[in-house]
Amino acid sequence: MTDRRQDAIAQAWEGVLATARRTAAEGLVVGTSGNVSARVGDVVLVTPSGVPYERLTPGDTVGVDLDGRQVIGRLAPTSELPLHLAVYRATTAAAVVHTHAVHATAVSTLVTEVPAVHYATALLGGPVRTAAYARYGTRELAGHMLDALRDRTGCLLRNHGTVTYGDSLDQAFERTAQLEWLCRLWLTASSVPGHRPSLLSPDQLRDVQDALEGYGQPG
Ligand SMILES: [Zn+2]
């Protein structure tokens, strides 16, 4: 491995650890649930199974190829590896974040699509779908997730949690935070007795999408 490649991998691993710790610090995961990955060329760096994020060090780097064969490190990759690899094979993602964020997971038990209560839904490509249930860690779950991610950068996993991806770890993380916020907003609005939240129409969402593409910064 060249020095440059080694540097890129070391830097990406730092980013994976920082992002994983951020998911814990911001309450999006509890304990060792959830996982984070980043792609560097044909290597996917991914948090290991069952080790608290604060105990992970630069020397604990875990890397696999796109077929899931371990190419860096000794710690076993997360049991959700099939889910991460499926995203990298199907998209141009540079990073994937998976959490069990409480409001998003609650919503995953209630609806097949997160109601469009706010234009932030456009940041994820449109109304966020809930992937059909399958046991954690299975290829079946990864398949359901890909169906739900079509034209989206995030989805819910029924009775399980969230998946988002992005061009960077920060973007993937930000999308998870937005998705959790959106789910919390809908739960809050829909819990007022005798009222139902108003929703944005497909036309209104398209209008937001056009504005986002045209101007970049949401207001
Ligand atoms: Zn999970």
147 pLDDT higher than 70: yes
Rounded CA-CA distance 48/81 in Å is 9
219 pLDDT higher than 90: no
Residue 187 gets which letter from DSSP? H
Rounded CA-CA distance 165/173 in Å is 8
Question: 174 C-alpha to center of ligand 1: Å?
Answer: 18
Half-sphere CA count of 37, side-chain side, radius 13 A: 34
Taking the domains of the chain in order of start, what are their residue ranges?
3-215
Rounded CA-CA distance 65/134 in Å is 24
Rounded CA-CA distance 14/46 in Å is 11
Which of 54, 80, 174, 180 is labelled catalytic?
80
Mean pLDDT of 192-205: 95
Q: How much is the pLDDT for 215?
A: 63
To the question of domain 3-215 being in CATH 3.40.50.2300, the answer is no
Question: 32 C-alpha to center of ligand 1: Å?
Answer: 10
Average confidence score pLDDT of the chain = 94
Q: 115 falls in which pLDDT band (50, 70, 90)?
A: very high
Question: 10 C-alpha to center of ligand 1: Å?
Answer: 25
Token pair, residue 81, equals 């590896």
What pairing do the DSSP bridges indicate for beta strands 154-157 and 130-131? parallel
Rounded CA-CA distance 3/7 in Å is 6
Q: How much is the pLDDT for 32?
A: 78
Q: 216 falls in which pLDDT band (50, 70, 90)?
A: low
Question: 86 C-alpha to center of ligand 1: Å?
Answer: 15
C-beta separation of 151 from 127 below 8 A: no
192 pLDDT higher than 70: yes
Token pair, residue 79, equals 């049991």
pLDDT digits 0-9 by tens, 30-87: 887 889 999 999 999 999 998 888 899 999 999 999 999 999 999 999 999 999 999 9
Does an H or E element contain 105, and which? helix 102-108
217 pLDDT higher than 70: no
Sign of torsion over alpha carbons 109, 113, 119, 123: positive
188 pLDDT higher than 90: yes
Over pLDDT 70: what percentage of the chain?
98
Provide the CA 18 distance to its chain's centre, in angstroms: 15
Q: Is 113 a catalytic residue?
A: no
Token pair, residue 145, equals 């997730």
193 Cβ contact partners less than 8 Å away, ≥ 6 residues apart: none
